[in-house]
Structure 1
Amino acid sequence: MIKTIQIQDTRYQLDGNAGSDAIHRDPVYSYAVTLLHDDSGLTGTGLAFTLGKGNELVCAAAKFYADKLKGLDIEEVMSNFGVLFNKLANEQQFRWLGPHKGVVHLALASVTNACYDLWAKKRGVPLWKLLIELSPEQIVNTLDLSYLEDELTAEQAVELITAQQSDIIGREQIIQQGYPGYDTSIGWFNYSDEKVRENCLKAVAEGFTAMKLKVGSTDAQRDIRRAHIVRETAGDAVKVMLDANQQWNLPQAISICNELKSINPYWVEEPTHPDDVLAHKTLAEAIAPVKLALGEHVPNRVIFKNYLQTGAASFIQVDAVRVGGVSEFITVSLLCKKYGIPVVPHVGDMGQLHQHLVLFNHIKLGHEALFLEHIPHLQKHFVNPVVIEGGLYKTPQAPGSSCDLKPV
């Protein structure tokens, strides 16, 4: 039974120019942390990610949601979590502040993720193992599929999961092999050209076969120059992704993306405003065969549904510490599976939680094991930090979701 609740406002100042992009020049990587303490001595830890200012607002909203869990047994909570999620997400007054986006939805993510962590700890297994061992019906019971009925009913979701089970043993090989990662820290926006070149060489030496550069400069020629540095330093065999962090308007995005075709980017990420689904559709058609990736700032399953329906995105970067937590992450992953679109999460959690979720996506849902973003800057703050060897995420074995933080 959940006895006590703690909410922590945790912030970490980054070193140098780490974390900088075209929009967010001086981020303070921060978590609204939900701690659910049960009567057996276990603690479920849940995270929502912010860049500093306003983190206290997410914490206040998380307390509102978490208080409603006091006195409940975690197994009871998770047996039909989709119903509880729907009830919390649609609380009449908090819903007005979203709906299903912004401060209140980030807060729900923190609480939701704490529930999944406590559930896995209660069963004594890592989260990826718990999720894989659930039946299709049990998985769907943890999801809120409202507003998706035109695309995915509960019955269809069960059928979709069930259809993937025949090849599950073969896909389990990835547990021993490790899940591929890509280096997103070679080219933060404020890094010098020399630093970018040095980081590219280091990433290749460490075994990464994909890496990402921040673009979106006032002077587009700076982006083009730096993109060529990455391509020439890393070589043609390496996948190079470009991330504009929403900096461009649509005409700018069309023009600059067409110029950037010369380095053969694997994708262009967040080229314009994340709510503008139709702009992304227009852009995708204008710059083909260059592909778009998005999801870091897409807040809920409904907008992801629209992106999939329009065919605007070739890669979906749903983030479980941005949408409503693990539950909504799985919901979006099921939509993507229906559409045949890869899920490559943005890792506001630094990959701690998502290393579990991509294993579930691959093994249970049959998603391609493409790669998972790797950001190393907060590793030292986690009790069980991710382990990357030869460019591969090693499979976590400790019970839970790997989100426990060391005391500040």
Structure 2
Amino acid sequence: MNKSVLIKKVSSVDTQFELKEGAGSDAVHTTPIYAYAVCKLHTDSGIEGTGLAFTLGTGNILVCQAIDYLSKHIEGKEINDLMANFGSTYKVMTDDPNFRWLGPHKGIVHLALASVVNACFDLWAKSKGVPLWKLLIDLPPEHIVNTLDLSYLEDILTREEAISLLSKQATTKSERLNILQTGYPGYDTSIGWFNYSDDKVRANIKKAMDAGFTAMKLKVGSADSQRDIRRAELVRKTAGDKATIMLDANQQWHLPKAIEVCKALKDINPYWIEEPTHPDDVNAHVRLAKEIAPVKLALGEHVPNKIIFKNFIQSGCMSFNQVDAVRVGGISEFITISLMSKKFGIPVVPHVGDMGQIHQHLVLFNHIAMGHEALFLEHIPHLKSHFKYPVQIIDGYYKVPQHPGMSSDLKV
């Protein structure tokens, strides 16, 4: 199926969801409102593309206004023609002479770009009647690279290198198709939100393990570091020695504090410590990684674009790459960053501002077509009831999505 679909109109929707009883809370965001700046592509065929960018409520409307501005770049385009060389359109949008001054390539403008780009990929898959993962793994390497903007990366990833990397992995792609039968492993990120009581954390750990999860994450970053240490020990004791436990500080610590607390947390054998300090401070992360080895760092939730990812990847301090397609410039930039990570041997374990809806497709592509290890994908259940085709978790595994598109359609 390759249906001609014309984008007649682009609209934005400010969609916000209040969370209850401490859900979503961390050391910085104590009262979050999960929100999407939604881009909708209205077409001549009745098919609608839906793109998402993730915020925490305040400012969401500003992202929507930026979506409305960027719409001029794709309105009137036929989706298959647009996506045949989407990288060039992507670059035009990122380098818009007026909006670029507000970034470049970060903040409100880049979030709007994410929503627009994601809507294009969603509509593209729907026009072919297939899930996004299926569309992506079946594309020839040259076609994948045509959707990317590799500018400013020429020193470490040329177009020819990107095509070669994907072509090499294509020769062994069939060996990784078994994941379509097993599903993609998940980890429970909701056992230990910052504002949860100790008793609730214990109860959530037991529920997670009963649901088949063997990996889980605790929020740390308290003003009193003894609270973090005590709660981390609680998780390890409750979950057992075999459980995989991650700790997430949400940027709360300055470097000396990060060194002190991370060393104290070594005893619980964390799989990683996530976002320990300011997300732009590459040098601080390099020093921290050396100080606390062999404990590893996971970074990327608030790294805004491919250039800063490039710096982190080259620095050697990033052990796990948490790029998020609804926080960087959409699926196109996600794939670009995944390619850099693959070249440098860094696994991609996305942050899921989309609640895993889009990323369940992207990790399948990363594994099957790019050869990334299938470690696990974060699972956050809070907005499940608001999606038309919510993720399905069975025994701790993401069930492979089957509906056309990228599972981003909301009920509202």
Match of 2:326 in 1: 321
CA RMSD of aligned residues (A): 0.5
- Once the two structures are superposed, residues 359-381 of structure 1 have per-residue CA deviations (whole angstroms, 9 ceiling, x without a partner) of 00000000000000000000000
8 Å Cα contact 1:161/1:364 also seen in 2 = yes
Find the aligned partners of 1:136 and 1:310 in 2 and give their Cα distance. Answer: 28
Alpha-carbon distance in structure 2 between the residues aligned to 1:39 and 1:175: 33
TM (norm. structure 2) is 0.98
Which residue in the other structure is 1:27 paired with?
Answer: 32
Report what 1:46 is aligned to: 51
Match of 1:293? 298
- 1:253 aligned to 258, 270, 284, which one? 258
- Alpha-carbon distance in structure 2 between the residues aligned to 1:4 and 1:140: 27
Find out whether 1:395 has 2:394 as its counterpart. no
Match of 2:367 in 1: 362
**CA contact under 8 A between 2:393 and 2:399: conserved in structure 1?**
yes
* Distance (whole Å) between structure 2 residues aligned to residue 225 and residue 336 of structure 1: 34
Q: Secondary structure at the match of 1:377?
A: coil
Give the Å deviation of 1:69: 1.3
Provide the aligned length of Structure 1 versus Structure 2. Answer: 407
Aligned to 2:121: 116
- What secondary structure sits across from 2:373 in the alignment? coil
The alignment partner of 1:35 has SS state of strand
Decide whether the 8 Å contact of 2:14 with 2:37 is kept in 1: yes
User: Is residue 2:378 matched to residue 1:342?
Assistant: no
Q: Is the 8 A contact 1:34 1:66 kept in 2?
A: no
Deviation at 1:262, TM superposition (A): 0.6
Residue 173 of structure 2 is aligned with which of 165, 168, 176? 168
| Alignment gaps of 5+ in structure 2 | 1-5
Q: Distance in 1 between matches of 2:74 and 2:307?
A: 26
Matched, 1:333 2:361: no
Q: Distance in 1 between the 2:124 and 2:170 partners?
A: 23
8 A Cα contact 1:362 1:369, kept in partner = yes
Q: Work out whether 1:276 is the aligned partner of 2:273.
A: no
Opposite residue 144 of structure 2, the aligned amino acid is I
Match of 1:66 in 2: 71
Q: CA deviation at 1:170?
A: 1.5
Letter in 2 for 1:369: A
Structure 1 residue 92, shift from structure 2 partner: 1.1
Aligned residues with identical type, % of pairs: 67
Cα displacement string for residues 133-179 of structure 1 (whole angstroms, at most 9, x for unaligned residues): 00000000000000100000000100011111121111011011000
Partners of 1:240 and 1:265 within 8 A in 2: yes
After TM superposition, give the deviation of residue 67 of structure 1 in Å: 3.0
Following superposition, the deviation at residue 6 of structure 1 comes to: 1.7
C-alpha deviation, 1:335, in angstroms = 0.2
Question: Does residue 292 of structure 2 align to residue 308 of structure 1?
Answer: no
Match of 1:189 in 2: 194
Tell me how far apart the structure 1 counterparts of residues 171 and 93 of structure 2 sit (CA, whole Å).
36
Counterpart Cα distance in 1 of 2:88 and 2:8? 22
Alignment of 1:126-141 (within 5 A): 126-141=131-146
**Match of residue 97 from structure 2:** 92
**SS in structure 2 at match of 1:364:** helix
Moved over 2 A (4+): none
2:20 equivalent among 15, 18, 27: 15
Q: Tell me which of 264, 267, 270 is aligned to 1:262.
A: 267
CA contact (8 A) 2:73 2:89 kept: no
- What's the TM-score, normalizing by structure 1? 0.99
Instruction: Please give the per-residue CA displacement for 1:234-258, whole angstroms capped at 9, x wherever unaligned.
Output: 0111100000000000000000000
Q: Distance in 1 between matches of 2:360 and 2:117?
A: 17
The answer to whether the aligner puts 1:353 opposite 2:345 as a matched pair is no
Distance 2:90 2:10 in 1: 18
Deviations 1:41-94 (A, max 9, x none): 100000000000000000000111123211110011100111110110011110
1:200-219 matches, cutoff 5 A:
200-219=205-224
Question: What is aligned with 1:150?
Answer: 155
Conservation of the 8 A alpha-carbon contact between 2:325 and 2:359? yes
Quick check: 2:107–2:304 contact (8 Å CA) kept in 1?
Answer: yes
Aligned-pair distance for 1:273?
A: 0.2
Residue type at the aligned position of 1:255: E
Question: Match for 1:274: what amino acid?
Answer: P
The aligned counterpart of 2:107 is: 102
